[in-house]
Amino acid sequence: MSQLTFETINTTVLDTLSRPGKAYWCIISLLFCGAIMGASCWAYQIFVGVGVAGMNTPVHWGTYLINFVFWVGIAHSGTLISAILFLFRANWRNPIARAAETMTVFAVCIAGLFPFIHLGRVWLVFYMLPIPNQRTLWPNFQSPLIFDVIAISTYLTVSSLFWYTGLLPDLAIIRDRSQGVRKKIFKVLSLGWSGRTGQWMNYSRAYLLFAGLATPLVISVHSVVSWDFALSVIPGWHTTIFAPYFVAGAIHSGLAMVLTLSIPLRKILKYEALITMDVLESIAKTIVFTGIIVGFSYATEVFIAWYSHNSIEMETFWWRAFGHYAPEYWIMVICNTVIPLLYLLKKIRTHVIPLFIISLFVNIGMWYERFVIIAGSVAHDFLPNAWGHYSPTWVEGGIMVGAFCLFFFLFLLFVKHLPSVSMTEMKEMIHKVE
């Protein structure tokens, strides 16, 4: 880090914006085709009806809402890194903050698609919005589903504005080193930023306030998502631990996704001098911490079920561990709580390959966590005659794969067209170190 100068930071980051090669466009095309495939599956569902998905009595919340919660969770880490760690003055966040914020914006967009897909008749989505109408019908603001609409829309707006505000000084750098059409585009995007003292002073204050506002927001949003479940009476959902449990899980999965994205990004874009092994190690240590919280939450859920002496709760948790979805449950437990403990070994957390592989396991584990909570609880609730199983169909699988392709497609477009490491924050960091 000590050999970095303002100029080397500029050069390293701006070099990543050079004209991409054929391999890049091949991957982009492949991901685009994957996204189109997902969109086609959705179109098929719209034409034929939501019955083409595997959701049926008693499991009416399936893969779509599992993916919704998964992507909202992924989105949370961006704000953790950019806002919460900013407030704590954790300098290791600076090299990865931009990539994490971008991940947040794209992940919220993708998360926001899933309730639309789940809705079936997507053209009726405006019913969820408080629009004046002839019948004086309004959304029910007592419902956690409407909390969710408000919370996710707020989160998307706030995270997009936070991301763009953070980009402004970097956009000016690109503007000042470009020619022709590119210069014109960045002239508009940078809004005439010129780094005047007065601009910096107000900007820094605004950025701090953004971080201060985003911090309670990020906690509230996943709490609200958890209340979609916890405010019902379904065994396995109706518990007060859900809000902190979901927030911890969201940060756990988001940090794992940051590692999954940062490691190839660092190698391909030659960011080794900026995203150092110390940065990756710090993420790994935080994943150990969040993994322990998540593990503690799993244990507390089981304890609450046992201590309550509520036979239905006890049956639900027994069935989770040893019933039809036991493999999914144990994948969740092992991937989220046991495997991340390997990061306690310095040899593992200081090598990119094990770091990367473990981050993939956590991603998989967190997806299964949502599966176990959402599908597992309604599949086996109060009455044995109402029990049933759920398996996703190819339509749901296609949409899910399409969503992943869309996410990586957007992220790859971003890394070659906008600065994926914040030059300004890196300069501030080395200036403080000096």
Partner 1 sequence: MNTDAIILTGLYNNQEETLAAVKKIQAKGFEVTEVHSPIPSNSLARALGRKKSKIGWFTLIGGIIGFFSGFSLAVFTSTRWDLIVSGKPILSWIPFFVIAFEFTILFAVLGNVLGIVTQVGLPDPDYEKNYDPECSGSMYGIEVASTTENADSLRDLLDHTGSIKKQRENK
**Contact flag: residue 237 with partner 1 (CB under 8 A):** no
**Contact flag: residue 234 with partner 1 (CB under 8 A):** no
**Contact flag: residue 87 with partner 1 (CB under 8 A):** no
Closest distance to partner 1 from the beta carbon of 151 (Å)? 5
Taking only Cα atoms into account, the Rg of the chain, rounded to an integer number of angstroms, comes to 23
Q: What is the DSSP letter of 135?
A: T
In the chain, the N- to C-terminal Cα span, in Å, equals 10
Sequence-distant (6+) residues with CB within 8 A of 299 are: none
**Contact flag: residue 184 with partner 1 (CB under 8 A):** no
Q: Choose among 42, 65, 78: nearest CA to 112.
A: 65
**Contact flag: residue 2 with partner 1 (CB under 8 A):** no
**Contact flag: residue 427 with partner 1 (CB under 8 A):** yes
Sign, CA torsion 159/270/32/405: negative
**Contact flag: residue 197 with partner 1 (CB under 8 A):** yes
Stretch that binds partner 1, among 94-102, 196-204, 267-275, 322-330 (CB under 8 A): 196-204
Closest distance to partner 1 from the beta carbon of 320 (Å)? 27
One DSSP character per residue, 214-262 reads: HHHHHHHHHHHHHHHHHTS--TTT--TTHHHHHHHHHHHHHHHHHHHHH
**Contact flag: residue 131 with partner 1 (CB under 8 A):** no
Applying CB under 8 A, among 26, 206, 268, 345 the residue interacting with partner 1 is 206
Largest CA distance in the chain: 72
**Contact flag: residue 230 with partner 1 (CB under 8 A):** no
Residue type, 414: F
**Per-residue binding letters, 10-29, with partner 1 (x by CB under 8 A):** x-------------------
Q: Is 59 helix (H, G, I), strand (E, B) or coil?
A: strand
**Contact flag: residue 344 with partner 1 (CB under 8 A):** no
Contacts with partner 1 by CB under 8 A lie at 5-7, 10, 130, 136-143, 146-147, 150-151, 154, 157-158, 161-162, 165, 168-169, 172-173, 175-177, 191-206, 209-210, 213, 216-217, 220, 224, 424, 427-428, 431
